[in-house]
Amino acid sequence: MSHPHPELGPPPVLPDGGLRIVALGGLGEIGRNMAVFEYDGRLLIVDCGVLFPEPDQPGVDLILPDFEYIRDRLDDVEAVVLTHAHEDHIGAVPYLLRERRDIPLIGSKLTLALIEAKLTEHRIQPTKLEVVEGERHTFGPFDCEFLAVNHSIPDALAVAIRTPAGIVLHTGDFRMDQLPSDGRLTDLGGFARLGTEGVDLLMSDSTNAEVPGFVTSEREIGPVIDEVIRTSEQRVIVASFASHVHRIQQVMDAAAKHRRKVALVGRSMVRNMGVARDLGYLKVPPELIVDSRDIEEWPPQDVVLICTGSQGEPMAALSRMANRDHPIRIAEGDTVLLASSLVPGNETAVNKVINGLTRWGARVVHKGNAKVHVSGHAAAGELLYVLNLTRPSNFMPVHGEWRHLRAHAKLAALTGVPEDHIVIAEDGVVVDLVDGRAKIVGAVHAGYVYVDGSSVGEITDTSLKDRRILGDEGFISVVVVVDSNTGKLTAGPEIHARGSGIDPAQFEEFIPQIQRALEEKAADGVVDMQEIRRVVRRTVGRWVSDTYRRRPMIIPVVLEV
């Protein structure tokens, strides 16, 4: 197996007839999926998603792929193929289109409708081409065939990309539910046909590569949801991804069966379900939906609320309910149903929400105590099935953390893919498919781009480090006034602290140490303001560390007279 290492340098010029693949996200992480394909000077992008921030990234709203690799070549981009409408595959599209608005977006009906609704908020009118499974379309040198795959959102697609360098099959996110609620199966016949034709490189979803067997069918979840709603004596509040149309359909069907009204809570939930309803993907019985603002007028036993926040997102509806920061108040006897999988890294946030809801008397039903969700990603048995159907010459696991990628690579080796034809890459690693072999040839920069409010890319890792220090250790500001000619202290120091846990009275005993340090520097003829700031910072930092074993942010302010 070939895999990246820190010594990788810039890639060489792509050989004639070769295909280059660079993932700008989605490798070694769950989210931010984006792959760039290059052939004969032209580019094709598959997916353009976001990553949601971790607790140690305070203030960050979203994390985008870094477009620097393609920024000077945006005119070479033929199209962006969107495999499905989850945020980790489409969320960064508005930010890409800010840089070139007329890049064609290629996707299924629901995928394009949901991204268009999102783009409206960014005041962008996209160029788009709607495709369906079984179709083939050419974008420059890229001949793309689209195949149906089953996932936790309708209308998901895999894409086979044909160039003179060979056939690449990109599965997107998929599973092999044999009894899907919408009747739309993963096109295993199409996969087998491509295998017969010859798949030169398979890029396959790795999210559940560590999970043995096959995923449970969606149909097994419906009766569980029905039972939860039937046995609940008060309101039922269901938290789900705002794009999980199948799950929302199951909740609505159960609510209608038990004569409860349904209210949608959360802007993205209302928007996405409106689009799904208008396009016929969501079947809503007459008079089932009521406005969430009128929900208090209905008896609790007659109500089901569907909201966002199943991942513990702090600003989502469910988290705000748990914190009593939402118009809808959790009451004793309410039932909260978390009808989604747990994205790795969100465990702490979700547990905090569960505890908050339980505090107010709610019964919380989640994946840990009931079968209320099945994964949208193929487990190991299904991944083996696809590997055997397609019999790829080369294999590259995608969409997953390192443990998922390596587990998937082991599965490929078990099916007979030679180990030196298995490529485990990470974001920014350059893979060339030349003469039937896929090899790592270099690396490009593919860092995180942080969205914080209206700013994009202005927050750096250094900024986040400062925020973490402020949040964990607080800060101390020290104001001194010095003579600009002699460097001598003329006033101060004046010390202020916030969140440092230090008694302000202790500073009075410490001030003489700062004064002595500055006097020594002045005696040495130091008048440089930057050096004086360093003296103050070092002196204060050493004292705080020795006395309190803490490392707050120290902000020296030096005024000249």
Residue appearing with tokens 């360093």: 534
Which of 131, 1, 2 minimizes the C-alpha distance to 441? 2
Residue 243 among known ligand-binding residues: yes
Residue 47 among known ligand-binding residues: no
Query: Per the structure block, which two tokens stand in for 464?
Result: 């986040």
CA distance 427 to 29: 9
Residue 2 among known ligand-binding residues: no
CA distance 411 to 396: 12
Q: Are 422 and 387 spatial neighbours (Cβ–Cβ below 8 Å)? A: no
CA distance 486 to 3: 59
Paired residues of 143 in beta bridges? 138, 162
Which of 142, 70, 130 minimizes the C-alpha distance to 100? 70
| Helix, strand counts (H, E) of the chain | 15, 25
Residue 183 burial (CB count, 10 A):
7
The dihedral sign for the CA sequence 493, 499, 502, 504:
positive
Residue 89 among known ligand-binding residues: yes
Q: 389 by DSSP, 3-state: which?
A: helix
Residue 435 among known ligand-binding residues: no
Residue 226 among known ligand-binding residues: no
Could you tell me where the beta strands, DSSP code E, fall in 391-512?
Answer: 395-398, 429-434, 437-443, 449-452, 455-456, 475-482, 489-498
The number of CA neighbours under 13 Å toward the Cβ of 402 is 3
Which of 258, 376, 345, 353 minimizes the C-alpha distance to 307? 353
Query: Per the structure block, which two tokens stand in for 392?
Result: 């790829």
Distance of CA 442 to the CA centre of its chain: 26
CA distance 106 to 115: 11
Catalytic residues: 205, 377
Q: Are 48 and 94 spatial neighbours (Cβ–Cβ below 8 Å)? A: no
Residue 5 among known ligand-binding residues: no
Distance of CA 38 to the CA centre of its chain: 25
Residue 377 among known ligand-binding residues: yes
Residue 408 among known ligand-binding residues: no
Residue 61 among known ligand-binding residues: yes
Residue 375 among known ligand-binding residues: yes
The CA angle 493-497-501, to the nearest 5 degrees, is 130
Residue 253 among known ligand-binding residues: no
Residue 137 among known ligand-binding residues: no
The number of CA neighbours under 13 Å toward the Cβ of 309 is 27
Residue 345 among known ligand-binding residues: no
Residue 432 among known ligand-binding residues: no
Residue 334 among known ligand-binding residues: no
Q: Which residues are annotated as a binding site?
A: 59, 61, 84, 86, 88-89, 151, 173, 242-244, 373-377, 399, 452
Q: Which residues are annotated as a binding site for Ca(2+)?
A: 59, 61, 452
Q: Which residues are annotated as a binding site for Zn(2+)?
A: 84, 86, 88-89, 151, 173, 399
Q: Which residues are annotated as a binding site for substrate?
A: 242-244, 373-377
